[in-house]
Amino acid sequence: MAHITWEGPYCQDSGNCFRLGTDAAGNGYIAVNGLEEHPLTDSIDALRALILDIKAGRADHLLV
């Protein structure tokens, strides 16, 4: 697996925390905080769109 540089965790009020990461090849990763060994990978733009939707309340059901 590529070396992933993780950002600090993003947490909602209920404690659902996730982290974003990138590798040297420009791939984007998202993982539940503490479970970074099993990340979801996609383009950085796709993951950014997902995070923005979660923050806007349009995808809260994904964090349950």
Separation of CA 27 from chain center = 12
Arithmetic mean of pLDDT over the chain: 76
Q: What is the mean pLDDT of residues 34-52?
A: 76
Q: How many CA atoms lie within 13 A of 44 on its CB side?
A: 10
Evaluate if residue 64 carries a pLDDT over 60. no
Q: What percent of the chain has a predicted confidence (pLDDT) above 70?
A: 81
User: Residue 13: is its pLDDT beyond 70?
Assistant: no
pTM of full prediction above 0.85 = no
Question: Quick one: what percent of the chain has pLDDT higher than 90?
Answer: 5
d(CA 36, CA 20): 9
Helix (H, G, I), strand (E, B) or coil at 35: coil
Q: What is d(CA 12, CA 52) in angstroms, rounded to the nearest whole number?
A: 13
